[in-house]
Amino acid sequence: MHKPDLVERRRKYIQRQLELHRNSVDVSFAGRRPEGAGPPNRHGMPKLPVGQHEVENWPVLDLGEQPDIDYEAWRLEVGGQVENPFALSWEQFMSLPQVDDVSDFHCVTTWSRYDNHWRGVRFKTIAELAVPSEQARFVLCTSYDSMPGTSIPYTTNLPLARAIEDDVLLVHQWEGRPLPREHGGPCRVITPQLYAWKGAKWIRKIEFLADDHKGFWEVRGYSNTAEPWFNDRYSSH
Residue 142 in any domain: the answer is yes
Contact call for residues 180 and 113 (beta carbons, < 8 A): no
The enclosing H or E element of 126 equals helix 123-130
Report phi then psi at 47, rounded to 5.
-60, -40
End-to-end CA distance of the chain: 32
Residue 163 in any domain: the answer is yes
Q: What CATH number does residue 55 fall under?
A: 3.90.420.10
Residue 101 in any domain: the answer is yes
Report phi then psi at 64, rounded to 5.
120, 0
DSSP-assigned beta bridge partners for residue 174: 118, 177
Residue 25 in any domain: the answer is no
Looking at residue 68, what DSSP letter applies?
-
The total domain count for the chain is 1
Mean pLDDT confidence for 138-150? 93
Residue 118 in any domain: the answer is yes
pLDDT of residue 63: 79
Residue 233 in any domain: the answer is no
Q: Predicted confidence band at 1 (pLDDT cuts at 50, 70, 90)?
A: very low
Residue 209 in any domain: the answer is yes
Mean pLDDT confidence for 89-100? 98
Residue 26 in any domain: the answer is no
The whole-angstrom separation of Cα 23 and Cα 9 is 22
pLDDT of residue 73: 97
Mean pLDDT confidence for 54-79? 92
Mean pLDDT confidence for 46-74? 93
Parent domain of 176: 48-218
The whole-angstrom separation of Cα 80 and Cα 62 is 26
pLDDT of residue 64: 76
* pTM of this structure: 0.88
From residue 228, alpha-carbon distances to 96, 160, 236 in Å are 30, 18, 18
